[in-house]
Amino acid sequence: GEDVEQSLFLSVREGDSSVINCTYTDSSSTYLYWYKQEPGAGLQLLTYIFSNMDMKQDQRLTVLLNKKDKHLSLRIADTQTGDSAIYFCAVGIYNQGGKLIFGQGTELSVKP
């Protein structure tokens, strides 16, 4: 089955850029997502990219997709303390009913 891997922790200084990485195994993944989870809260969809795209930019967020290496990254520019949270990578496969397979999450800590 599909496997999604992320590094567990990332610490950056306020104002720096953060890059969170994710690798996946199934080449039939159709949509690839980044979700944010703050303590005690549900999952908030940040952005997603379709598998035929290489890059998507949305304000401070840039998503890069390398299909050959099955590698997805999320770059947060000008990281703020409010960006401290757990970030989940997830992959969806078309014709599997919208089911998402999640990574284990990367805890981003932003120090002032």
Partner 1 sequence: EAGVAQSPRYKIIEKRQSVAFWCNPISGHATLYWYQQILGQGPKLLIQFQNNGVVDDSQLPKDRFSAERLKGVDSTLKIQPAKLEDSAVYLCASSLIIDSKELFFGEGSRLTVL
Interface with partner 1 (CB under 8 A): 4, 31, 35, 40-45, 48, 50, 88, 90, 92, 94-100, 102-105
Q: Which CB sits closer to partner 1, 31 or 84?
A: 31
Q: Of the candidates 92, 68, 65, 94, which has an alpha carbon nearest to the alpha carbon of residue 2? A: 92
Q: Least distance from C-beta 86 to partner 1, angstroms?
A: 9
As a whole number of angstroms, the distance between CA 1 and CA 59 comes to: 34
Return phi, psi of residue 83, to 5°: -85, -10
Q: Least distance from C-beta 60 to partner 1, angstroms?
A: 20
Contact call for residues 46 and 75 (beta carbons, < 8 A): no
Q: Write the DSSP symbol of residue 81.
A: G
Q: Which CB sits closer to partner 1, 97 or 112?
A: 97
Q: Which CB sits closer to partner 1, 48 or 67?
A: 48
Q: Least distance from C-beta 63 to partner 1, angstroms?
A: 14
